Amino acid sequence: MKLESLKAAVLSLLFLGLFLGIWHLATLPKGEAQSAHDEYAKLLGKGTKKSEGFPSLAQMGEAAAAQLKDPLYDRGPNDKGIAIQLGHSLGRVAAGYALAMLFAVPLGFLIGMSPLLHSALNPFIQVLKPISPLAWMPLALYTIKDSSVSGVFVIFICSVWPMLINTAFGVASVRREWLNVARTLEVTPFRKAFAVILPAAAPTILTGMRISIGIAWLVIVAAEMLVGGTGIGYFVWNEWNNLNLTNVIFAILVIGVVGMLLDFAIGRLQKAVTYIE
């Protein structure tokens, strides 16, 4: 077992090395660096440090070091450090996600316990679920009249469905025997919900939450690119405007790492509530 994981780690490193090697070879400077001998070339920025095309590994490292050295700088409303931008994005995700949880889990409980409600609400859920969260953006901007809150709303609307459906499914598939036992013991409905159904459905609910956090993190980047202002999505957009691929790639890496950490956190939570029948 230990040997297996060691082998996997070595292989992972090998892949990484291969990837970086190809990157390095592909971005080697071509020919002599042109010097700015005439005026025209100078106006095109020849001979200066100009971001041209895909960055080399060294440029990447330099940019990452510069960003990470001072992640909390604040030079006005449109130029903030990477940590502040991440903070804004995580804040929006947290707000939208928490709202979605407050809405989806109780409603999912009701739907799961009542087949009537399930049949009645199912058509709505099925129609609303496949709508791209960004399609809500113009409507949200028009009605909510606040771009930051609209971002939160978009997170809410995209994370609500997986949680709702999974909660309903988890609650509906609690084993009959356990419910029967509860009935035999004449526990109150309130206690039945919290002592029997919730623990039994928890792993399924957490699965829904795990799917939701992934979607929410995907969507916030797109939403912030659309609305601008603050956040990691805005950071990507701002650097794209300047055609600064180095910083864009850096931001992509950061988005990936943060997404992984979010998933990992809920994954741990999920493990904690999983039981063996």
Partner 1 sequence: MHCDCGQHHSQEEHDAGILQASVMRALFPQDRLRRRFLRAVGASTAAAAVSSFFPFGALEALAQAKAKPEKPELKIGFIPITCATPLIMADPLGFYREQGLKVALIKTAGWALIRDKMLNKEHDASHFLSPMPLAISLGLGSAVQPMRVMTVQNVNGQAITLAAKHKDKRDPRQWKGFRFAVPFDYSMHNFLLRYYVAEHGLDPDTDIQIRVTPPPEMVANLRAGNIDGFLGPDPFNQRAVYDEIGFIHVLSKELWDGHPCCAFGISEAFIKENPNTFAALYRAVLTAARMAREAKNRPLIAKVISPPNYLNQPETVVEQVLTGKFADGLGSVKQVPDRADFDPFPWHSMAVWILTQMKRWGYLKGDVGYRQIAEQVFLVTDARKHMAQLEMKAPASSYTRFKVMGKEFDPTQPEKYLASFAIKKAA
Contact positions vs partner 1 (CB under 8 A): 39-40, 43-45, 48, 50, 52, 75-79, 141-142, 145-147, 225-229, 237-243
Count the neighbouring beta carbons within 10 Å of the beta carbon of residue 59: 16
Q: How far is the CB of 138 from partner 1 (least distance, A)?
A: 8
Spatial separation of the C-alpha atoms in residues 70 and 56, rounded to whole Å? 22
Q: How far is the CB of 197 from partner 1 (least distance, A)?
A: 43
Q: Which is nearer to partner 1, 55 or 162 (CB)?
A: 55
Q: Which is nearer to partner 1, 20 or 243 (CB)?
A: 243
Q: How far is the CB of 85 from partner 1 (least distance, A)?
A: 12
Q: Which is nearer to partner 1, 101 or 226 (CB)?
A: 226
Sign of CA dihedral 90, 93, 98, 101: negative
Q: Which is nearer to partner 1, 17 or 45 (CB)?
A: 45
Spatial separation of the C-alpha atoms in residues 24 and 9, rounded to whole Å? 22
Q: Which is nearer to partner 1, 75 or 176 (CB)?
A: 75
Q: How far is the CB of 143 from partner 1 (least distance, A)?
A: 10
Going by the DSSP 8-state scheme, the letter that residue 74 receives in this structure is B
Q: How far is the CB of 145 from partner 1 (least distance, A)?
A: 4
95 residue type, one letter: A
48's CB contacts (< 8 A; 6+ apart) are 36
Q: Exposed, middle or buried: residue 99 (CB in 10 Å: 0-12, 13-18, 19+)?
A: middle
Spatial separation of the C-alpha atoms in residues 106 and 129, rounded to whole Å? 18
